Chains A and B, each alone.
Chain A
Amino acid sequence: MTFEELQERAREKWKDTEESSTPIVRVGAATCGLAAAAGEVIEAIEDEVKQLNLEVKLVSVGCIGCCYAEPLIDIKKPGKPRIVYSFITPDKAREIIKDYIVDDNPRPDLAMGTIGEGEVEDIPRFFELAYYKPQVRLITENCGTIDPRDIHQYIANGGFGGLKRALSMSPDDVVEEVKKSGLRGRGGAGFPTGLKWSLCREAKGSPKYLICNADEGDPGAFMDRSVLEGDPYRVLEGMLIGAYAIDASEGYIYCRAEYPLAVELISNAINQMERDGLVGDDIMGSGFSFRFHLFLGAGAFVCGEETSLMASIMGRPGRPRPRPPFPAQSGLFGKPTNINNVETWGNIPWILRHGADAFASYGTERSKGTKTLSLTGKVQRTGLIEVPMGITIDEIVYEIGGGMKDNATFKAVQTGGPSGGSIPHYLGDTPVDYETLTALGTIMGSGGLVTMDDRTCMVDVARYFLGFTRCESCGQCTPCREGTKQMYRILDSINKGEGKPEDIPLLKEISEIVIDSSLCGLGQTLGKTVLTTLTYFPEEYEEHINRKYCRSRVCKRLSPAPCQAACPVGIDVPTYNALIAWGRFDDALEVIREDNPFPAVSGWMCPHPCEKDCTRLETDKAISIRALKRFVAEHEIKAGRRKKVVHPSPITREEKTAIIGAGLTGLSAAHDLRREGYPVTVFESKPFAGGMLRIAVPDYRIPPHIVDYEVEIIEKNVGVEIKTNVAIGKDLTVEDLKKQDYKAVLIAIGAHKPVDLRLSGSEGEDYIHAIEFLKRVKAGNREKPGDVVAVIGCDHAAIDAARTAARLGSRVTIIYPRSRDQLPVGEDILKEVEDEHIKFQHLAVPTEIVRRRDGSIKAVKCMQTELHEPCLDDAGRHRALPIEGSELFVPATTVMVSIGMESDLSSLSYKLATNELGSIIIDPETLETSEKGVFAAGDAVTGPATIIEAIAAGQKAAASIKCYLNGVEFKEPYKLVRPRMRIEPVEVEEELETFRRPDELVRPSEERLFDFEEVRLGLTEKLAVYEAKRCLRCDYEEEEELK
């Protein structure tokens, strides 16, 4: 049978099936489809067709490109366009078969698009979709359409037309045509294909060989596989044309054994071609003969390098050799050999069929045609794409890929797999062509395009690819073998937080050397990942090395569990949780004490920023970290164990430090200094140490004995000297302290002076500051403040004042300018407040205190507000702007105000440089004031902060003072945060799987409103252990990770 007859027959057959009354169901059953369970879909369709007794032609086709939407089926009914359905499950497949084939309902809700002539209502054109619009499908034109097991379908769609034309030309003309097309090697290096062919054609020696490199090994690359699985004949036709042009008589297809489907399809294709006389002797009567051999590579990455590949075919170990001689001179079995990769061969038939000019009309000046790319990584739409050369990275990522998943930010794209480099997001307008990519330090490569978002760490990316090339280097030449080993070690140490600043220039040097002096393409390109990440993301390397910080939270050693990272003092939350889960409560408490001298105070009062970042939030609710801390602290207090042990740490240093103010900041600083052996004296003007907690925060929130308990530990067990009732500025001056040989002084006097609102009508005893009221009550004066109390402001002092007033019998309203969801207090506290019958007047800003003629307060006059978008200086909250002319009255007999507090420096009688607002000017790094050796920290500097921030400030002050006393420069200690101890995860019982975050026991409001006893009662032991077991253990590392 001549080719013309064959063509005729194939076309008729194709026409018959396409136009027959039998519907055709195509299922994308390439590897990508099968991985998405296309096999089950096929079974379901077969079954459904049988059950409904339908006549349907079911065809397994290759990948049409949009792998993200697999499994795909497409149904062609006579007179209708093909309709593609995506994300198919067996059930959906049954539904579609029934609805569309039987009931003629095209199900637009499940359809993705239509292909071919005609339109279907509510279904877009498939190739007009955003994913396909920028694409140009030349090499993949048949993928997903023809049956890759049927040569006639390929022939009917123009197959072997290129070979036919080539055979009618002289071999030289064929080479010329390819040269004219501007086609360049698609394997990565981009060597002009026509030139390569002519070199091999001119080389002396016989026989000549052709090789198709189908050893696609880059992580994240599957272009060649998709082409081989979707349209294997195309590649073989390309090789036949090449063989004719070069005068080769044998060709090898070197396909990796990991592509079983591709291997099956290629050998099937070769058999069919032999059957139809398209391969063998005297092809198409031209006298030209050619034979194919299929060779399976056993999986060495380096065998993708041409000299290794040839060694492998020759039965030798796959190791490269120096070039020259080039394969064109001495290749396979010492004969002239031409190697091209799958995509290059696949382009040849199109060029011969449509002409070089048509091909060259796509692409850029020096990079012609299209390029298949495997778009993978963090974009929304992944898959095989074919785009004209010169398309920009942004177009690929945003238009085809649809941007990043989960609204993440695009960060970089790795081209060329492990041999390539990363292009940063800010170079997104880079056109994809050989020259531009090379200029940016990466390569086109075979077409792997791994997109990365801001949750990808670039150091980790470099380490990952280096880990790959280190294992895949053949080990022959020293730079590649030793270089990858050392580069990997350096990157691994940076990744583990052991990097040194000199590692960066060293990495750069060695990468350059490995690129310059390696023997083969593997070594000559593997340094690009390191170099590009170093060039485009130097800040990430610096952060890893200098600040032990991984911004993407990928490098595990640099990324403590999110709770620990969120904690201002860095308490090792996962470890103490795990210890609680094991029932080791005392050990858990000791773990907390390592970082925080106030476990009980924190357990009662901490605003727990840790819980906001808890990983468990992704599934249900955060671990109740604070309540667990309170539980272990309470457990110890009840047992009274700690008090028995009294052995303060020894004083090993002479330099004395004086700390003014025994609040949490002062005591934390004292604790840290004393634990290191420095003698410390804390001076407190009040009769008790403990600051605001002890003199203002109401008993029902934290009983005084809890604070006293921890102060006592610091005094007795740690050995800090606390002098109460000594007011610096009155009883002693700072100068006196210096005279008494205190080398350093820390001012931690807190912020006790309330800020006034200065409203008209604010004179009189019935207008009081909330903090004064709280102090009065705490001191024992439990007099009712008035029948109707209006509280202006909504900080913790205001809330506490409101609750206290409610307990003393007042009716209370809180006036707050924003809405409920903007309140600066936690939801748990808010709920308690509302239970205590305290009203809120949201969205109101007071303008005047209205008084009766007798001088008593009548109401608070307010203006209504409306919320506006946040501006930058407003802590991200909405701005509340008053509405002009609006008016609102909140009745009251007493008004309490709490809109902030500031530090009262005047009492110190000590001259320090202050800013225009009256706060102490300090060096933000060292906390040192304008006076040498005098430091200031805590609320005194920052204004009122949370208790955990106060403790953190004290710790920082202690670290700085320590450096000052030793005469060294203070630097923020960036250290690796590692779990304090390795705790194995506990067995989680079945009943726990449905266990949800327990609420702390809270006394009912009708009971608690009449006393000052604690509102919250904490967790029971059983609940605490259960709760601790819910922890997902973000800190946990497997044994091998620890190495």
Chain B
Amino acid sequence: MVTLEIDGQEIEVEEGTTVLKGAQKLGIYIPTLCYEETIKPYGACRLCVVETIVNDRSMFQSSCSLSVAEGMIVKTNSKPVVKGRKILLELYLSRCPEVKRVRELCDQYGVTETRFTTFDKSEDCVLCGLCVRVCEELVGARAIDFVGRGTERKVDVPFERVWDECVACGACTYVCPTGHIQNEAHRVAQLKRQLGIQRKCRYMLMGAVSNKLCPNNYECWRCEYEQRTEYRLGEHAVLALKPAQRQGG
């Protein structure tokens, strides 16, 4: 067990716990965009950056990926942290001015407008990488990935055409915080064309349901099963699967 101090409160947590989890335990809110409990921390959105003091040395580190250390002092809401978050949110707002999730976060921090230039108003991808990571780590399909470097970076399918790797599980669309990922429908239509009405549905492919005819005529975006599993499990089936049941993870 490791003892540390977060925002003035002392807490004892297991070794290897992340600072973010520790803070959540204390009920302290740290904003995140690219964090998902079941997926490995990625540290890309940088909204969860907190100030840490170890051996009198102050540093800014992402709380989602930072493991706790004995005697660590964490400030999740110090002045420089909030200032940085605000500028980050301005950057997000300039990138995706129309995205609801970004606007919500901006509202939380009182960011109403951005001093930066918006290049493409319709941009709705924040490049959090959740879709890419859920596909690789949980589904094991690796059907999508980042393409391009730096400012050219975007999420895409290999060589810009839908490959057979996609099992149309829809986990990517589920985790996407902005609604950018919508490739699923195309892939479903393609699968339907290829296999005809007799094909198994994606939950059958994943082994989550038995081989039965689909009651929804394979119009997967209306899937009752999905609705039901989500209702029962509290989240998308892919994310709810236990680690042992995951492929490739």
Residues of A participating in the B interface, judged by any CB pair closer than 8 Å: 300, 317, 319, 321-322, 324, 470-479, 481-486, 489, 502, 506, 509-510, 513, 516-519
| B150 in contact with A472 (CB, 8 Å) | yes
| B151 in contact with A473 (CB, 8 Å) | yes
> With A475-B151, A481-B153, A485-B151 known to touch, is A519 a contact of B84 (CB < 8 Å)?
no
| A477 in contact with B117 (CB, 8 Å) | no
Which residue from chain A places its CB closest to the CB of B129 in the assembled complex?
A: A476
Interchain CB contact (< 8 A) of B49 among A471, A489, A506, A517:
A517
* Nearest 5 pairs of A and B residues by beta carbon: A475-B153, A322-B65, A322-B43, A482-B91, A473-B150
> With A510-B87, A516-B84, A517-B49 known to touch, is A478 a contact of B150 (CB < 8 Å)?
no
| A477 in contact with B46 (CB, 8 Å) | yes
Chain B's interface size range is: 35 or more
CA distance A476 to B42 in the complex (A): 9
Residues of chain B in range 201-221 having any CB-CB distance to chain A below 8 Å = none
| B151 in contact with A470 (CB, 8 Å) | yes
| B84 in contact with A470 (CB, 8 Å) | no
| B153 in contact with A517 (CB, 8 Å) | no
Cβ distance B37 to chain A, nearest Cβ, rounded Å: 16
Scan B26-48; emit 1 where CB is below 8 A from any A CB, else 0. Answer: 00000000000000011111100
CA distance A537 to B149 in the complex (A): 32
A319 surroundings in chain B (CB, below 8 A): 146
| B151 in contact with A478 (CB, 8 Å) | no
Q: Does B109 make an interface contact (CB < 8 A)?
A: no
> With A474-B149, A475-B151, A513-B84 known to touch, is A324 a contact of B117 (CB < 8 Å)?
no
| B43 in contact with A321 (CB, 8 Å) | yes
A485 surroundings in chain B (CB, below 8 A): 119, 151
| B46 in contact with A479 (CB, 8 Å) | yes
| A509 in contact with B87 (CB, 8 Å) | yes
Most chain A CB atoms below 10 A, which of B83, B119, B145, B149: B149
Which residue from chain A places its CB closest to the CB of B47 in the assembled complex?
A: A478
| A317 in contact with B146 (CB, 8 Å) | yes
19 additional A-B pairs beyond A475-B148, A479-B46, beta carbons within 8 Å, are A471-B149, A472-B149, A473-B150, A476-B44, A476-B129, A477-B43, A477-B45, A478-B45, A478-B46, A478-B91, A481-B150, A484-B150, A485-B151, A486-B91, A486-B116, A502-B115, A509-B83, A513-B83, A519-B44
CA distance A517 to B46 in the complex (A): 6
| A518 in contact with B46 (CB, 8 Å) | yes
Q: Does B174 make an interface contact (CB < 8 A)?
A: no
Which residue from chain B places its CB closest to the CB of A324 in the assembled complex?
A: B67
A321 surroundings in chain B (CB, below 8 A): 43
Scan B139-179; emit 1 where CB is below 8 A from any A CB, else 0. Answer: 00000011011111100000000000000000000000000
| B94 in contact with A477 (CB, 8 Å) | no
Q: List 13 A-B contacts (CB under 8 A).
A: A322-B43, A322-B66, A324-B65, A473-B149, A473-B151, A475-B149, A476-B127, A486-B91, A513-B88, A516-B49, A516-B60, A517-B49, A517-B88
CA distance A581 to B70 in the complex (A): 78
Q: Does B62 make an interface contact (CB < 8 A)?
A: yes
A482 surroundings in chain B (CB, below 8 A): 91-92, 94-95, 116
CA distance A516 to B83 in the complex (A): 11
Scan B78-102; emit 1 where CB is below 8 A from any A CB, else 0. Answer: 0010011001100110110000000
CA distance A510 to B83 in the complex (A): 10
| A477 in contact with B87 (CB, 8 Å) | no
| B60 in contact with A481 (CB, 8 Å) | no
Which residue from chain A places its CB closest to the CB of B59 in the assembled complex?
A: A516
B62 surroundings in chain A (CB, below 8 A): 322, 517, 519
CA distance A476 to B150 in the complex (A): 7
Interchain CB contact (< 8 A) of A483 among B49, B91, B129:
B91
Which residue from chain A places its CB closest to the CB of B128 in the assembled complex?
A: A478
A474 surroundings in chain B (CB, below 8 A): 149-150, 153
Interchain CB contact (< 8 A) of A478 among B60, B88, B145:
B88
B126 surroundings in chain A (CB, below 8 A): 478
> With A322-B43, A478-B91, A516-B80 known to touch, is A486 a contact of B117 (CB < 8 Å)?
yes
| A322 in contact with B149 (CB, 8 Å) | no
A486 surroundings in chain B (CB, below 8 A): 91, 94, 116-117
CA distance A475 to B116 in the complex (A): 18
